[in-house]
Structure 1
Amino acid sequence: MNWITLNNLEQLKSISDAEGYSVIFKHSTRCPVSMMAKKRFEHDWDAIPEGTSVYFLDLISNREVSNTIAQQFNVYHESPQILLIKNGECIYETSHGEISAEDLAEQIS
């Protein structure tokens, strides 16, 4: 799998309109906890089912997109944070040390 860089609001609209599952990983490049969560997530990447779109948001560089995510999916902003979107709705979100590719995969299965 490869990260899909999320850096504009048009992509967010596409995620909302997509059928099935999409994942958004919100990452702060200034936070060591976020870096650790990202590395752990990438280590277990193979747990995520094939065909799942996994988006990576550098929220420091893309603050407007990050703020829109919080409003659009009705979630409290945190970093790092992972959101599972299904058919335009956030059905699962977690943050910090709770981020796990395996837990995310269980939500998809």
Structure 2
Amino acid sequence: MGLFDKVFKSERDIVKKEIEEVPWHALTEEQQLEKIKQESEKQPVVIFKHSTRCRISRMVLNNFERNYDLPKDKEVKLYFLNLIANRGISNEVASRFRVRHESPQMIILKDGEVVHHSSHQAIDVERIKEFI
């Protein structure tokens, strides 16, 4: 690591090269929910609901991303929902999949149905592994 890296990059930026990036797909349109349900017929689908105004949500998201280590050969699709920017979509997720809204929240779909949901500190990458 050079002097330039120490001065202009944060420790997270430097370490990030070693961390597996989470392959998020943005959930920004209500029409995506039908596609998500169909995708879950072929592979597990995860919806991660995050509030950009909540420190706990930020902490849980950071922990999830830091611990993300799903094998690249396993098929799973990860959707990221910014609750503040997409409140209506969040409400539709709760209604359509019959899961009470929480934030942060992780919902796992398989074969068109919710097979797991958790919130706050119960959100864990290991739970996804149980369904892939």
Q: How would you bin the TM-score normalised by the shorter chain?
A: over 0.9
Shift in Å, 1:105: 1.4
More strand by share: 1
Higher mean Cα deviation, 77-86 or 42-51? 42-51
| Distance in 1 (alpha carbons) for counterparts of 2:47 and 2:113 | 12
Aligned partners of 2:103 and 2:59: how far apart in 1? 12
- In the alignment, the residues of structure 2 paired with residue 80 and residue 61 of structure 1 have an alpha-carbon distance, to the nearest angstrom, of 14
Structure 2 alignment gaps of length 5 or more:
1-21
Shift of 1:48: 6.0
Q: Percent same amino acid at aligned positions? A: 42
Return the alpha-carbon distance in structure 2 between the equivalents of residues 47 and 22 of structure 1. 13
Q: Give the match for residue 27 of structure 2.
A: 6
- SS of aligned partner of 2:69: helix
Q: Give, in whole Å, the separation in 2 of the partners of 1:26 and 1:47.
A: 19
Letter of the aligned partner of 1:100 in structure 2? D
1:5-27, CA deviations, whole angstroms, 9 ceiling, x for partnerless residues?
Answer: 00111111100112221000000
* Unaligned segments of structure 1, at least 5 residues: none
Residue number among 82, 90, 94 corresponding to 1:58 in the alignment: 82
**Aligned pairs, number:** 108
Which 4+ stretches in 1 moved above 4 angstroms?
none
